[in-house]
Structure 1
Amino acid sequence: MNTRRTTAGPGPAAAGPPPGAAVRRRALGPLPEIERPTRASTDEARDLSVALFGRLRELEEGTAEYSYVRNTLVELNLSLVKFAARRFRGRPEPREEIVQVGTIGLIKAINRFDPSRGVDFSSFAIPTVVGEIKRFFRDTSWSVHVPRRLQELRIELARAQEELEQRTGRRPTRTELAGRLRVSEADIVQAELAHHAYAADSLDAPLTGEDADDPPARAAGRATGVAEPAYGLIDDLVSLQPLIARLDDRDREILSLRFVHDLTQAEIGRRVGLSQMHVSRILTRVLDDLRTGLLAEDTHPTAP
C-alpha cells in the first residue's frame, strides 16, 4: 500500500495518476493547496484537517475531487498511525507492515468521522487505528510461537486425516497418520498441539453448553483475568517519562493536576494562581510538545 505521493497526488485510498491542477483546484475550493501534507506540523495538521473535513462534506463521494481531499487528510494524519504503531514496536512483524495496516484504520476513521459532534479527530482516529492493527494481529498471528516445521506438519496432518477418514469411514489413529506421513507418533502429537496453538479459544469467551453447568469450569471462568486497557499504555508511559522530566516545575505540576488529580482547568488555575485561559494554553503547548517528542522516530532520549 503506497501512502505517499510526489506533490499532491493520490494517497493510499486512491489509484491511478496524480490529479491535475484543475481537479485539485475544484477539490480545495477556497482552501490553499498543501504542497507536502506529510511534513505539516501537529498544529498545522489539526487546523488543516478541520478545514478539509468541512470541504469533504461539500463534495460528492466517489468523485476525483472527493478522493483528493480524503487522500490529503490521510497524509496529514499519518503521524497518528506512526504514533499508534509505537505501541506494537515489540512485535515481530515489520514496522512498515504495521503502519500500512494502521493506515487502513485511518482511512476508516476519516470515512466515519462526523465533525459536527465537536470531537477532535485525533481522539476519534487513534482507537480506530489501534483496533485495526489489533484485528490484523488476531487474524494472522499464532497464539504461541510454533516452529515452522510443526506449522507445515499441521497442514499435512489435516490433509492426511481427511483422506484416511474418507477411505476407512472412521477417524484414523495416530499410528496410521504417522505411517501415512512417515513421521513418528510423537511428531503427530506435536502437530496436534500446534493446531490448538493456531486455533486457541478466547479466554474472554462466555461459557456455554456443558461447560456452563460444570462447577470447575465456572470457577475457572471466574478466575480468568479480564483485559486491562491500561496495559496498552505502558509503552507510551515509558516513552513519556524522559520527555516529562524535561518540563519545568510549573508545567509538570499543571500536567499532574490535570491528568493525575483530574482537576479542571479552572481548578488548576486557582491552585497555581493563573487564569483558566492561561492554563489551557500551557496544557495545549505541553501536550503538543510531548506528542512531537513521541513521534520523533530518530530521537531516543535517555531517562534520568
Structure 2
Amino acid sequence: MSEDFQQQLQIDNQIEQLIKDFQRSNSEETQVILVKRYEALVYMLARKFSKGKDYGDDLIQVGMIGLLAALRRFDSSYGRSFESYAVPTIIGEIKRYIRDKTWSVHVPRRIKELGPKIKNAVEKLTTELQRSPKVYEIAGFLDVTEEEVLETMEMSRSYHALSVDRSIDTDQEGGTVTLLDLVGATDTGYERTDQQLLIEKVFSVLNDMEKQILYCVYYEGLSQKEIGKKLGISQMHVSRLQRRALEKVQKSLPTDASES
C-alpha cells in the first residue's frame, strides 16, 4: 500500500468522522470545517451550469444548500465516498433551481421538465440520423405526443422575457423603435375620468329641476314641449329653466374648458 494511498485513506476517515460528528451534534464549527473542505467542489459545479448566465452567485448559494443536505444525509455504511454522494445531490439542487426559478415567464412544470429532455433527444437523434429530427421522431424517442413536443418547444422561448424598451427597428428619421412603441396604446380612460369629474363639479351648481331638464335635453333627447309634459310645467317655464341652467354651467366652467 503506497504512502499516498494511506494518507488519502486517513483523510477520508477523518472526513467521515467529522460528518458523523456534524450529523450527531449539528455543530456550527464542524459545519464550517466541512463547508470549507468542499466549497471548491461547489464552485466548480456552479460554474459548469452558469456559463454565460447572470445567476452564477445564486447557483453557488444553491450548491451550498445541496452540500449541507448531502452532509446531513450521507451514510457511509453504503460503502461509497462522500464525494460520490455529494456531487449528484448538489447538481440536483442546481438543476431544480434553474428549472423553477430562472424562467422570466411562468410556464407549467411539465414544460420545464420536458424541455431539457427534448434538447438531449435532438442532439442524440441528430447524431444518429445525420440530420435534424422531425417532431414525430422526437415524440417517438421520448414517448410523448407531438403536441407536447410542439407546446414545449414554443413555450421554451419564454425562458427570457423581452424588455418593452428593447430596440427592435429604426424609424425613417433614424430613431429607434421599441416593443413598447408597437404594443402601446393611448389610454382614453384618464380623459373620460377628467370629463366625468368636470361634469360632477359643474352639475353641483344646479338645483334638482335644472339637472332634470338638462338630463332630458341632452341624454333623452326630448323637446321642451315633451319635457314640460313630463315634468308638469309649461314649455315656456322649461325654456327659462334650461337657459338659466346653461348660464350657471357656463359660469362654473374653468376658463380653458369654456373656450374649448
- Structure with larger Rg: 2
Question: TM-score, normalization: structure 2?
Answer: 0.37
Q: Hey, which of these two has a bigger chunk of helix by percent?
A: 2
